[in-house]
Structure 1
Amino acid sequence: MSRPLVFVSACLLGQPVRYDGGHKRFPYLDVLANHLELRGICPEVGIGLGVPRPPINLVAVNGELRLLGVKDRSLDVSEKMREFARRQAPLMAQADGFIAKKDSPSCGMARVRVYDLAGNLLHKHGAGLFTAVLSQALPQLPIEEEGRLNDPALAENFLTRVFVHYRWRNLQAEGITPASLLEFHTRHKYLVMAHSMRAYRALGRMLADLKNSGPETAARYFAELMAALARPARRPNHVNVLQHLAGYLSDRLDCRDRRELTEVVETYRRGEVPLIVPLTLLRHHQSRIRNPYLAGQYYLEPYPAALGLRNAI
């Protein structure tokens, strides 16, 4: 597996699959395509609806969300969509993420419009039927909408999870052993700390006695890991991690370099510079000192640096 595999709502890739025969090409995917394998999927075409086709929307009927035709309420593709999602889940379990089309009644992740049978808007808190079923079947699969990827912090969080998921799939392909699971955790420890100190402690306790553990421990570990990473990392947590990592170098730095590193971390804490600034200085010192433990930490580069995501957070 040379690159993470991410499914994408096909219209975002420029494929003319929307109900009106158009598309919603998302230019940022051109950047991601340099680092990810992107594979299009259109659930509405997948269930046999043509292009063009009558538009559908989410409708609340007797307390249940259904996919009905906008003009012809007798057009009901709810069960077809749910069955399509269940059939696709095993295939998408071999992927590392899904980028969904926002506002779509089939693909939208959240904030999808929900109507009543008369066509009145009830609320904007629905989830597309395909994505809702998929997220229940694959709770560890990173899912994000293209609109939210315009937010640097949310994009950074999504790509972090995609690459962690990808490394986990590689670990599974090689065969998980107590030693390999412990190494995986060791290399992700500070990445976890940046997202949740509680999860950092809990995952450490979970792996404290691997001799008496089985496959269920690995499954539980990964579930809790991905749940922790789903919460975007906060600035105070990043500061805490930077200070911990600086400690691995401090005894090899002279007074001036230690003071400079401390001051740069402090400027980040105050919000005066982005995360990439203290990280760049930390990596600069690491390139000279070559601390082996620090070199193995994915926190320093959780995804390809060329993505530049930490330049804006």
Structure 2
Amino acid sequence: MTTVRPRIAVSSCLLGDPVRFNGGHSRDRFLSGALDPFVDWVRICPEMEAGLGAPRETLRLERSPDGPRLVTRTTGVDLTDRMTALARARSAGLDVDGYVFKSRSPSCGVHGIPLYPEGGGKPVGKRNRGLFAAVVMDSRPELPVEDEGRLNDDLLRESFVERVFAHARLRELLEGGWRPADLVAFHARHKMQILAHDPARYREAGRLVAGAGVRPREELGAAYAAAFRAALATKATVGRNVNVLQHCMGMVELDRARRADLVEVIGSYQAGRVPLSVPATLLRHHARGEPAASYVREQTYFLPFPEELRLRNHVPA
């Protein structure tokens, strides 16, 4: 189910490359440890690719009438045009399923970057993106993006990893010689996963699949991809997860005792007493022994990413 390997762009310092301004790195334990065996990294350091070297002078964003400028902190060299051109070129050729940027970086930060007045002084704002990251994110709005700091949050980490694996499965489908029947099967396997995120977009994607034999193949693929990615970008909720679990439970033959046990466990998840992994694992276990429950067993909802990552083991807030 999750054998596909996502391609994830990453600020290379987060994997231990010595490319920081001080010649060091910012190795992230989750990215370089738990996640590393399951993905293919595309290492990027904009400062190194722009020829700044390491170690180097630190950078900052400065306010200007034309928008933030990226300048060296001490000498005031303006790197905006060079970094913008690099970001546009990188974005155009970036065939990845997600991107993890370095937090608090004036080039790579995705939020909270200070903006200084021209020539120095105290920051006049702290709600900005790094220059390189802003160009990439604006040109690729469908791309799952996070920084390593936000990935310390259990829910954000689970959501990001789920999205990149879903994007990778879709990419694998669309890059192959797929037929309308393959798209129908893909949509069927992802039904519960999409419903947990966005029921309205599930229906939109379903209408596209229903016309799979009529619409031109490339046009259909692009339209379905847009609907699928938008659906997964909507955060799953406890309520929608409960609806999915109950729906799947109705498709599994259970005796009275096992059904009551499963209802109780789903209720415990809904009340915030146990993580999603508990009812999901129990339901998957019951479906494994039921020939009639093959549809449930094949749902990506139950294994949206490798089980070894243990990303569903947090209790919902």
Normalising by the smaller structure, the TM-score range is: over 0.9
C-alpha deviation, 1:21, in angstroms = 1.3
C-alpha deviation, 1:143, in angstroms = 1.2
Match of 2:233 in 1: 230
Match of 2:109 in 1: 108
Match of 1:17 in 2: 19
Match of 1:263 in 2: 264
Match of 1:242 in 2: 245
Cα distance in structure 1, aligned partners of 2:63 and 2:243 = 46
Cα distance in structure 1, aligned partners of 2:111 and 2:313 = 27
Consecutive unaligned residues in structure 1, runs of 5 or more: none
Cα distance in structure 2, aligned partners of 1:63 and 1:83 = 16
Query: Which range moves more in the overlay, 216-225 or 15-24?
Result: 216-225
SS, match of residue 121 in structure 1: coil
Match of 2:277 in 1: 276
Out of 144, 147, 157, which is 1:145 matched to? 147
Cα distance in structure 1, aligned partners of 2:224 and 2:121 = 45
C-alpha deviation, 1:287, in angstroms = 1.4
Cα distance in structure 1, aligned partners of 2:223 and 2:141 = 12
C-alpha deviation, 1:63, in angstroms = 4.3
SS, match of residue 211 in structure 1: coil
- For these two proteins, the number of residue pairs brought into alignment is 309
Code of the residue aligned with 2:245 in structure 1: it is L
Code of the residue aligned with 2:72 in structure 1: it is G
C-alpha deviation, 1:119, in angstroms = 3.1
Match of 1:160 in 2: 162
Match of 1:50 in 2: 53
In the alignment, is the contact (CA less than 8 A) between 1:109 and 1:127 conserved in 2? yes
Out of 122, 125, 134, which is 1:123 matched to? 125
- Equivalent residue runs for 1:179-198 within 5 Å: 179-198=181-200
Query: Which range moves more in the overlay, 32-41 or 269-278?
Result: 32-41
> Structure 2 length as normaliser, TM-score?
0.93
Cα distance in structure 1, aligned partners of 2:22 and 2:209 = 52
In the alignment, is the contact (CA less than 8 A) between 1:161 and 1:229 conserved in 2? yes
In the alignment, is the contact (CA less than 8 A) between 2:60 and 2:72 conserved in 1? yes
SS, match of residue 60 in structure 2: strand
Q: Cα deviations across residues 40-59 of structure 1 (Å, max 9, x unaligned)?
A: 21001111112111111112
> Structure 1 length as normaliser, TM-score?
0.94
SS, match of residue 15 in structure 1: coil
Q: Cα deviations across residues 111-144 of structure 1 (Å, max 9, x unaligned)?
A: 2222221332121111111111112222222111
Change (3 A) 1:265 1:190: same
Q: Cα deviations across residues 64-83 of structure 1 (Å, max 9, x unaligned)?
A: 1111111222x111111111
Cα distance in structure 1, aligned partners of 2:49 and 2:206 = 43
In the alignment, is the contact (CA less than 8 A) between 1:5 and 1:38 conserved in 2? yes
Cα distance in structure 1, aligned partners of 2:187 and 2:81 = 40
C-alpha deviation, 1:176, in angstroms = 3.2
Code of the residue aligned with 1:164 in structure 2: it is A
C-alpha deviation, 1:198, in angstroms = 1.7
Cα distance in structure 2, aligned partners of 1:106 and 1:209 = 44
Cα distance in structure 2, aligned partners of 1:173 and 1:203 = 19
SS, match of residue 110 in structure 2: coil
In the alignment, is the contact (CA less than 8 A) between 1:154 and 1:232 conserved in 2? no
In the alignment, is the contact (CA less than 8 A) between 1:275 and 1:312 conserved in 2? yes
Cα distance in structure 1, aligned partners of 2:9 and 2:68 = 24
- Equivalent residue runs for 1:195-234 within 5 Å: 195-214=197-216, 215-234=218-237
Out of 91, 94, 98, which is 1:92 matched to? 94
- The percent of aligned pairs where both chains have the same amino acid is 42
Match of 2:297 in 1: 295
C-alpha deviation, 1:217, in angstroms = 2.5
Cα distance in structure 1, aligned partners of 2:131 and 2:220 = 32
Change (3 A) 1:276 1:2: closer
Cα distance in structure 2, aligned partners of 1:32 and 1:163 = 12
SS, match of residue 100 in structure 2: strand
Consecutive unaligned residues in structure 2, runs of 5 or more: none
Q: Does residue 1:286 correspond to 2:287, yes or no? A: yes
SS, match of residue 68 in structure 1: strand
Q: What is the CA RMSD across the aligned residues, in angstroms?
A: 1.5
In the alignment, is the contact (CA less than 8 A) between 1:153 and 1:232 conserved in 2? no
